[in-house]
Amino acid sequence: MVDVRFFFVSLIIFFFIVFSTVSQSPDQTMEKKSLRVLSKTLIGDDGRVYACSDNDFFSFESNGSIAWSVHMDFKCNTGFSPVYSGFNQMLVLAENRILRIDFPRNGTKSEPETFFDPGETILGFAVSISSSSVYITVKDHGLYAYNMLRQQLWIAEPKTERFGYRLGCRKDYENCKFDSGPVIDSCEASIYISNNEGELYSLSLRGTYNQWIQDLSVIDRFFTVTPGNNGLVYVVFPTKSLVFALDSFSGNILWQKTVGPLSESSGSLPVIDTNSWVSIGSLDGTLYSFSRTGELHKTPENVETDSMIQVEPLLDCSGNAVYVSQTKLEGKTDQVIGDSTFVSAKKPETAVFSLVVPETRSIHWSHSYSDQSPSLLLDEDLQHFVLDERIVLAFIAASNSGNPFRCRSKHDKLSSSCSFAEPEHLDIYIGNERTIIWFLLFEFVIIVLFAALVRFCFMFWKKQKLQGRPFSAFLDKRRLLHRKRREIDRTITRLQNESTADEFSVDKINDLVQERENVKRKLSSTYSLGRDIDASSKSKDHVLPLYRGGSRSLSFRNRKNESITIFETHRHESSSSEESYRDQHYDDDDDGVADDENDEGDLKRKQKGKFHAHSEGSSSDDGDDESCGIASSRRSTYLKKRSLSFRD
């Protein structure tokens, strides 16, 4: 990389725009020698220009007239511009002190107060309005953070270690120190600052946490930093004529571009418009503009050889264009010595001020001025100050000269301030994208199945038959019920295949069918693998069905302490009573595992009891009333054993 160094041989351009007549009296000549030098300017949101000179702070209207001024007890540093701190206040650096100046209220001025006085050299400061904090770099000490109430928040030093590993100052740990002022990236809530070894730090606004540290000393130790507020950080190396774009999230270098020779003293700070184009002026008279991706636009495309841009461009009020000052000289020579290029310039002739849109490379307005031209009419208040290109360009930008665009409001500025910032997407998986998608889908299916399993287990262990009983007993009961259902199915099939079909066989099959339905009900409710079915609607308060006008019962007891109860119910009216009775009967069998063996003999005992009841009913009295018979096709007979044993 060829080093480009600028050695500008000329007097300070007391720029010809002192806008007086050509003839000057001796009194005017003496007055010109006592002109005051203004500091770097700040164009406020109200369109005014703020600057200080000696012990006075000035607020200028866009036409150059003084709106108001405040006297300070300390002489301001002209190398720093005032900084707006919010709440109608300005912070000014004066004799290594930071003074706070309040705007006049109702015509009443307040005296400046000292905000910060370290007693040491202040290298620079910045204000974060969003966090209401001020960040100050003190030479040989570090970076200080204060709130607006002048309370110290934290102190950061360049020497950083984490788990015994040095993150900064790797080359000369003992003599390492910060040597630049802080720069704030409001979109990323970060602070950028460099040390004397050429390392760039990214700190968090909320504390001393180092987000990343980038070593740029391999390129050059002298550089300037400008936040793009678009996800990028622009680093300019004036002596190398290089522009780097760094990722504000990781600090990685995204792209680098070469520009024309740059001024070391001024003009090396780029400006970023609302379209995310960064523009910087060069000593070759060209405005270099780069898009967010590194696309280059030069304005003008054909530039005169005897011209240069010495001061940094200024953004217009719309944010879409920039004001540029181009100086035309009597002559300019470039000389290459070794790896360095020296630029020598002769006396300046004219200055051309232009309004340029970097994205389209269009020039919307342009005007040239010379020291003999009174065409730039500014207020006579400015005649007491030295007017160079930097000062004149600030007033041209504040007055929106030749600007066809609409100025942005505060709301527009806030809404578009971080519109080009793109969130960082970290790639967790490295490999085939299709494989990653299938893997994520597989994980999703596993999670769904696991959730279903957990829900099933939660419902299953709440079953009533599992409360206080071993799980093996529950499984044994399920196997017994399945075996009983199969036996009933085989019995029903056998009876249906028999050639004889009498009323006794039909009633027997009906009983078996009802028996099978009860077994199925238990397998699907109390002994199922799902939740218990609410059977509270079924009455279990009575062992025998209640008489509801459609049925009657007869009870008999013999000498052997055996009882037989016969229920007479019409078929279409007895379904509910039968179901209630059988539900109660089978639920009573579930009280313990010890009764499970008895369930196997229930079917045989009921069949045997049914047979005896049929025999007795047939031999007793054939002429009896039909209501007492059990062989009627419209009646059903149910038997229940009430004694300890049932004998033949």
Q: Which two tokens stand for residue 27?
A: 């009194």
Q: What is the DSSP string of 396-444?
A: HHHTTTT--SPPP-HHHHHHHTTTT----------S-HHHHHHHHHHHH
Mean pLDDT over 561-584 rounds to 46
Residue 206 has pLDDT above 90, yes or no: no
**Confidence category of residue 499, pLDDT binned at 50, 70, 90:** low
Q: Averaged over 50-70, what is the pLDDT?
A: 94
> When comparing pLDDT for 464 and 617, which is higher?
464
171-189 tens-digit pLDDT = 888 889 999 999 999 888 8
CA 326, CA 343: separation in Å to the nearest integer? 16
Burial string for 615-630 (b: 16+ CB within 10 Å, else e) reads: eebeeeeeeeeeeebb
pLDDT of residue 426 exceeding 70, the answer is: no
User: Tokens 């078929």 sit at which residue?
Assistant: 571
% of the chain exceeding 90 in pLDDT: 34
**Ordered alpha helix ranges (H), 284-432:** 389-398, 410-416
Helices (H) and strands (E) in the chain, counts: 8, 35
Question: What does the pLDDT read at residue 430?
Answer: 58
Q: What is the mean pLDDT of residues 1-5?
A: 39
CA distances from 579 to 239, 540, 545 (A): 101, 11, 9
Examine the pLDDT at 217 and tell me if it is beyond 70. yes
pLDDT in tens, 436-453: 889 889 999 999 999 988
pLDDT at position 522: 82
Rounded CA-CA distance 101/314 in Å is 25
pLDDT digits (tens, 9 = 90+) for 401-414: 888 998 888 777 76
Q: Which of 46-50, 306-310, 592-596 has the highest mean pLDDT?
A: 46-50
What six digits make up the tokens of 543? Answer: 């062992």
What three-state secondary structure class fits 70? strand
CA neighbor of 602 nearest in space, from 459, 452, 478, 488: 488
Give the C-alpha separation, 556 to 617, whole Å: 12
Of the pLDDT bands very low, low, confident and very high (cuts 50, 70, 90), residue 266 is: low
Distance between CA atoms of residues 8 and 18, nearest Å: 23
Beta bridge partners, 569, equal: 551
Provide the 8-state DSSP code for 533: P
